[in-house]
Structure 1
Amino acid sequence: MLMISSECEENKKKTKLLALFKNPTKVDVINIAWPVLVELLLSSLFGMIDMMMLGRISDNSLAAASVAAVGITNQPLFIGLSLIQALNVGGTAMVARYLGSNQSDRIETTLKHIMLLSLLMLAIPLSILGIIFTDSIMNFMGAQADTLQAGRYYFKIIMVGFVFQSLNMSISAALRGIGETKIPMKINLKVNFLNVIGNALLIYGYLGFPKLGVTGAGISTALANVIASIFLFSYVIKGKSIVKLNIKKPFKFDKDIIYNLVKIGLPASIEQMVLRTGVLLFVKIVAGLGTVIYAAHQISLNILGLSFQPGQAFGIAASSLVGRSLGANELSKAEDYAKETRRIGSMISTFMAIIFFFFGPQLVRLYSNDPEIIKNASLALKIIALVQPFQSSQFILAGGLRGAGDTFWPLVGTFCGVLLVRVVLAHIFVNIMGLGLAGAWMAVFVDQFVRWLFVYARFRTGKWKYVKIR
């Protein structure tokens, strides 16, 4: 009897395993999400290696100033990137819808609109402003004198690379809209690998190259963005994908595409402005704790970047699959995709949370041997671990809503969570109660919970299934 029971249990396990891989919803989600997840995780890993290289500069004061300079530069840079990404949200949703409704002929003109609007309205003007007002921006961000001295030229060089980075994001967004996620993954992995090599050569001056420190890291990053642009352009111009780019074909503005981009992209843009404004104010609060504490904060953020990736990857998968399903008028399928992406992404994020909670000091030691940095960043990582379930679920469900073109409620959640909760609580916890870096990250925890509440409540209503585009 025991033998028969054991065989039955074994058969049940095999049946469940087979069902897992035969479930078409899971298969579709994993097929789109895994290349994005690999790309984002390895990009974050390469970014971590960059930060480790700077943190290992022999002069400890210069190392801390270099790490802080990268962190301060990233904040205004992320404002620009987030605005471009918001425009790309509309592009991804539209490309997915057009694919689902068999209107593939509209995909190329959508891509051209996104690229031109990104360049002319955002990337080029913001790049020029960043180069001209470098010192003013870094001072406003709370840079100490040593950070400004170390990072001035890094900032200017990164703003040049920003123009090419915006083009890369637009093409990648269109490719992800049709579920073609492997090409951006392969290209980004190649250029990130080249970036790490370039950093090693230009930061430390290996093989006869000049020893440029953090400025060398900026040159390597900008060149990597240029190379990625060349690869992506070559791919879409060759016409091997549904996403094509015929540069000989005359371009005409399409009022319906502009309408859709404004309808979907405007709330997403405002959301990103709110988010980045809130984060900027938050960073100013943390920067006031001094260069060493800010370096610990930046290392915590760098490690946290790893935990963003499952949510972002499965959020992108949700956008593509939800948009495509709604384009084909398959409403229940769209909801199934959203739920499945959240389920898988949340499992991965929970696993990462356990690592952050129990192995924080070991992770931080990869960046720095400074006891003060290790102590503060390790404590921050424990709080980050508690953030994970809400952060991942919020990212993924918001991705599904954006794929449907429903970008208003993620905006409301971000406004309340970041501006009304994170900034206010960070000021109270850090400046009034004196809780230091731990207080700042406690504010982040409450912010993520509030944003999750708004997005989850909107998803439960099901009204996002009926958003129309032209």
Structure 2
Amino acid sequence: MDASAVISIEASDRKKLRKNVIQIAWPAVTELILISLFGAIDMIMVGRLGAAAITSVGLVNQPIFLIMAVFQALNIGGAAVVSRGIGSKKYSDANSATRHLIIITGMLSIVIIFPAIFTVAGIYRFMGAEYEVISIGLNYFKIVLVSVIFQNIALSIASVLRASGDTKTPMIINVVSNIINVLMNYLLIFGRMGLPELGVTGAGIGTFLSRVLAFVLLTYLLCSSKGDIKLKLKEIFHWDIKTIKKIVRIGMPSAMEQFVLRSGNLIFVRVVSGLGTAVYAAHQISVSVLSLSFTSGMAFGMAASTLIGQSLGAEKRTLAEEYGKETRHLGSIIATIIGVIFFIFSKQIAGLFSNDIEVIQNTSGVLKVIALIQPFQSSQLILAGALRGAGDTKWPLYSTIAGIWGIRITVAYVLVVGFKLGLMGAWLGICVDQILRYFILFWRFKGGHWKYVKI
């Protein structure tokens, strides 16, 4: 089987290979860049309310990411099954995986989210928030939690569409919903056009409305689709235990990976929040900027996952490997350019988010660290996406355990608490973490065992 794939690769034009990668990746790159920009704009608006407001919003992210870990894992499992189904032209399998993924995501979201709503104050206290931060963010936290139910289902639909090769539809929907988010945030945070001035709570309402919109549009488009992937509502509760087991089996290592990542970040944030509200505000701004630098790695990782999954479904292993190499090459080039921009304009970027001198100085230093890790960060994200697309989800888990718990938390704690290096010490821990994960995943990808994983 693999010999025919070799012939196919030799006969094909390298430009055609790159064209296929770019065709899948560019909508995802555009989508993630715009979403990150919109997120940065949101943080800029919240930043005008003061350091306590930034912190109240920032502290919400980590526990929500932890809650969402199981759903991200299900998406990875579902997407792997869908891409293999598309590649092998078994469209009924792909549609069955889509149906099961959406209904499981919806039911689990309701079960997990609603109990969490009644514990938001306790979560804030666990994260080390001061009284002012809790009082400002309490309603925001509750509103955003409810919106996560709609967001989870929308993310599931988007993941199967990307797995089928359709990256444009999720891009358009997410860009539109984020434009609505920014607009509503502006109107409700500052009380424009006759609407009440709600501050941080207004930001929560804007987020809720945008996520509901994305959910409605993606559900409608999937139900009315004329493509290979379509959701038939009359079959929504038709269960196939084999499909469920397949999604869970592939997604379980990713669930553990996400749990390790998010729980580790919770402890990491707990260390940073102990440095004070102003320092944590700088940290949160740095995280917002970091999300911009994730875009190329995540987008090309999505492309690698889709193209490798479809290639392996068609039993073209050599083609799958070539797609992995090409996505990493292109993603690294873009990441390096982003790093240069962050390094040169670190102070100017920090000044967009806050006019507090201490916050700007701390953020500017961190952005230089972020700039230096760009090629490693991008490559590890792409290689992880490639392995997940092949169904080899255990090694991204192993790399995350080694990076987050072995390096990030340990180094951050030693440098922040032991050597008193403050925020810079914490981010040096992130830097070493990203480099270690890159080498682990590169070694696994180069070994080639992922090409023979059975789904």
With the shorter chain as reference, the TM-score category is over 0.9
Unaligned runs of 5+ in 1: 1-19, 58-62
- In structure 1, distance between residues paired with 2:407 and 2:282: 23
- In structure 2, distance between residues paired with 1:250 and 1:366: 47
1:429 touches 1:435 (CA, 8 Å); kept in 2?
yes
With over 3 angstroms needed to count, the CA separation of the structure-2 counterparts of 1:291 and 1:30, relative to structure 1, is same
- Deviation of 1:318 (Å): 0.3
1:69 paired residue among 51, 56, 64: 56
- In structure 2, distance between residues paired with 1:187 and 1:407: 28
Q: 1:143 maps to what in 2? A: 129
1:414 touches 1:451 (CA, 8 Å); kept in 2?
yes
Residue by residue over 1:30-72, the C-alpha shift from the partner in whole angstroms, topping out at 9 and shown as x without a partner, is 0010001100100000000000011123xxxxx2111111110
Structure 1 position 249 matched with structure 2 position 235: yes
| One-letter amino acid of the counterpart of residue 197, structure 2 | K
- In structure 2, distance between residues paired with 1:93 and 1:250: 20
- Deviation of 1:250 (Å): 5.6
Which structure has the larger Rg over C-alpha atoms?
1
Structure 1 position 79 matched with structure 2 position 66: yes
Q: 1:134 maps to what in 2? A: 120
Residue by residue over 1:284-315, the C-alpha shift from the partner in whole angstroms, topping out at 9 and shown as x without a partner, is 00000000000000000000100001000000
| One-letter amino acid of the counterpart of residue 162, structure 2 | R
Q: 2:299 maps to what in 1? A: 313
| One-letter amino acid of the counterpart of residue 136, structure 2 | A
Q: 1:161 maps to what in 2? A: 147
1:21 touches 1:27 (CA, 8 Å); kept in 2?
no
Unaligned runs of 5+ in 2: 1-11
Q: 2:167 maps to what in 1? A: 181
Q: What SS class does the counterpart of residue 402 from structure 2 fall into? A: helix
2:177 touches 2:210 (CA, 8 Å); kept in 1?
yes
Q: Which runs of 4+ in 1 moved over 6 A?
A: none
Q: 1:211 maps to what in 2? A: 197
1:263 paired residue among 249, 259, 264: 249
Structure 1 position 42 matched with structure 2 position 34: yes
- Deviation of 1:316 (Å): 0.4
2:103 touches 2:236 (CA, 8 Å); kept in 1?
no
Q: 2:207 maps to what in 1? A: 221
TM-score w.r.t. the length of structure 2 is 0.96
2:85 paired residue among 98, 101, 111: 98
1:436 paired residue among 422, 437, 455: 422
With over 3 angstroms needed to count, the CA separation of the structure-2 counterparts of 1:25 and 1:162, relative to structure 1, is same
- Deviation of 1:22 (Å): 6.8
Q: 1:15 maps to what in 2? A: none
Show the 5 A alignment for 1:394-405.
394-405=380-391
2:23 paired residue among 31, 34, 38: 31
- In structure 2, distance between residues paired with 1:22 and 1:323: 20
Q: 2:104 maps to what in 1? A: 117
Identity across matched positions, percent? 48
- Deviation of 1:259 (Å): 2.3
- In structure 2, distance between residues paired with 1:432 and 1:337: 44
Root mean square deviation, CA, Å: 1.2
- In structure 1, distance between residues paired with 2:211 and 2:394: 32
- Deviation of 1:252 (Å): 2.5
With over 3 angstroms needed to count, the CA separation of the structure-2 counterparts of 1:376 and 1:97, relative to structure 1, is same
Show the 5 A alignment for 1:401-440.
401-440=387-426
1:458 paired residue among 432, 444, 450: 444
- In structure 2, distance between residues paired with 1:103 and 1:390: 36
- Paired residues, what number? 444
1:296 touches 1:376 (CA, 8 Å); kept in 2?
yes
- Deviation of 1:241 (Å): 2.4
- Deviation of 1:258 (Å): 1.8
Q: 1:327 maps to what in 2? A: 313
- Deviation of 1:386 (Å): 1.2
